[in-house]
Amino acid sequence: MFNKEIESMPLAKMRELQTERLKWSIRHAYENNAFYRKKYDAAGFNPDQFKSLDDMKRVPFLTKQDMRDNYPFGLFAVPMEKVVRVHSSSGTTGNATVVGYTKKDVDIFAEVVARCLVAYGAGEKDVIQVAYGYGLFTGGLGLHYGAEKLGAMAVPISGGNTERQLMLIRDFGSTMLACTPSYALNIADFIEKKKPDFDMRKTKLRAGILGAEPWSESMRKEIETRLGIEAYDIYGLSEVIGPGVSGECSAKSGLHVHEDHFYVEIIDPDTGEILPEGSKGEIVYTTITKEAFPGIRYRSRDISRLYREPCACGRTLVKMEKVTGRSDDMLIIRGVNVFPSQIESVLMEVEGTEPHYQIILDRKGAMDDLEVKVEVSEKLFSDELKMLEGLTKNISDRFRSVLGISARVTLVEPQTIPRSEGKAVRVIDKRKI
């Protein structure tokens, strides 16, 4: 274990630590951030009322909307000169969530990732190829600093360029590959089609550090057999810290949550009631040590279950079940978080399109394929082909710049997208996870 004292702490002691840290964190948010103060005052909640974990239910929730409303820095709780890094969760517009870190936060971020790496069996001798995107996304830098903290060697290749990924796995002797599970499958496809002589089993690669999107046990089996590696799950969200909120261990039976930094609850997504341990529901996170960007009772919209059971690895940290669904309409497309409303607002800005569209998601090989069908006005449709081509390009360019992903845009004639009598079916997700 990277931090044995914490990772194998008896529950009663952990609860004591969490209670003390929660008191600090709730007060820190209230006293140092105007939004929290206003929200808590309006709800009649004062940090003095928080005396034990039973009082958690009195603390108001924080939502994604609160984060958007406070774009970019409105939820920071330290002076800007104490912020040493920012990340952002999705999109490049005002819709994105911007999160900040102090030096101490960055250090905790690196430690929780390092703990996960050790749980996958990594040590100083490992060469960790980081194929998550480097940049505003937390994946690349998160894994990078975790690997350095551990004393392993980080290879900051970032995402894409599969040919080069293979070259470095071979030449640098990478032992672990950190990327999304869909990219891992994409690599397997690439080898099969384009590099049949490349034998992953002859390289030193032995594990995948896979996360940032939901993936199933059957995907795990496929990745493990096709690449000849062990595939481990890593989970996290930028609003809480980034990757490393939780991670699997050799038992591969749930992800240990680093609950000395993140207090977790499961609630009923409809009523907001706290559910007993073991029930399935929405995970709510409270950061209990973070300085720059405290997240108090943040509604993640991720659906999971928490359970405490003796683990073969010796860790006592609570486990969460693999996240396979959400309680909102957020889509994860090639690792990028996208809300249908963002797609809609791009379409609405383009002249000549009608407010009828459909988002079709599928898997082409291992990659997510996004098609957006949109009706165009009668007049435009009867115009020249060139006009339509220009419009298609214009919309695709806007998707790329606003959402950060590419989409196939198909313009269709008026009245061709099926109308529904109830809620419009805007999203057809054919991907099976």
Binding interface with ligand DLL (CB under 6 A)? 89, 132, 138-139, 142, 211-214, 233-238, 242-243, 300, 302, 323, 326, 332, 337
* Shortest reach from residue 304's CB to ligand DLL, in Å: 9
Q: Of 229 and 323, which CB lies nearer to ligand DLL in the complex structure?
A: 323
Q: Which H or E run contains 38?
A: helix 34-43
Burial of 7 (0-12, 13-18, 19+ CB in 10 A): buried
* Shortest reach from residue 21's CB to ligand DLL, in Å: 22
CA–CA dist 72, 92 (Å, integer): 11
* Shortest reach from residue 337's CB to ligand DLL, in Å: 5
- Residue of minimal Cβ distance to ligand DLL: 211
Q: Of 56 and 210, which CB lies nearer to ligand DLL in the complex structure?
A: 210
* Shortest reach from residue 235's CB to ligand DLL, in Å: 4
* Shortest reach from residue 212's CB to ligand DLL, in Å: 4
Question: What's phi and psi for 98, nearest 5 deg?
Answer: -105, 130
Question: What's phi and psi for 345, nearest 5 deg?
Answer: -70, -30
Q: How far apart are the first and last CA of the chain?
A: 31
Q: Of 47 and 243, which CB lies nearer to ligand DLL in the complex structure?
A: 243
SS3 48: helix
Task: Classify each residue of 294-324 as buried b or exposed e, where b means 16 or more C-beta atoms within 10 Å of its C-beta.
Answer: bbbbbbbbbbbbbeeeebebebbbbbbebbe
| Token pair recorded at residue 113 | 């990732």
* Shortest reach from residue 31's CB to ligand DLL, in Å: 27
Q: Answer whether 195's CB lies under 8 Å from 148's CB.
A: no
* Shortest reach from residue 174's CB to ligand DLL, in Å: 17
* Shortest reach from residue 214's CB to ligand DLL, in Å: 4
Q: Of 337 and 353, which CB lies nearer to ligand DLL in the complex structure?
A: 337
Q: Of 239 and 375, which CB lies nearer to ligand DLL in the complex structure?
A: 239
CA–CA dist 297, 45 (Å, integer): 14
Residue that the structure tokens 């659906």 belong to: 303
Determine how β-strand 85-88 pairs with β-strand 280-287.
Answer: unpaired
* Shortest reach from residue 405's CB to ligand DLL, in Å: 13
Q: Of 301 and 315, which CB lies nearer to ligand DLL in the complex structure?
A: 301
* Shortest reach from residue 120's CB to ligand DLL, in Å: 13
Residues 6+ apart with CB under 8 A from 407: 343, 370, 371, 372, 396, 399
Question: What's phi and psi for 372, nearest 5 deg?
Answer: -115, 115
Cα 99 to Cα 42, 138, 180, distances in angstroms: 24, 10, 22
Sign of CA dihedral 105, 266, 26, 8: negative
In 3D space, the residue among 55, 145, 155 whose CA is nearest the CA of residue 107 turns out to be 145
Q: Of 76 and 285, which CB lies nearer to ligand DLL in the complex structure?
A: 285
Q: Of 229 and 395, which CB lies nearer to ligand DLL in the complex structure?
A: 229
| Token pair recorded at residue 137 | 């996304």
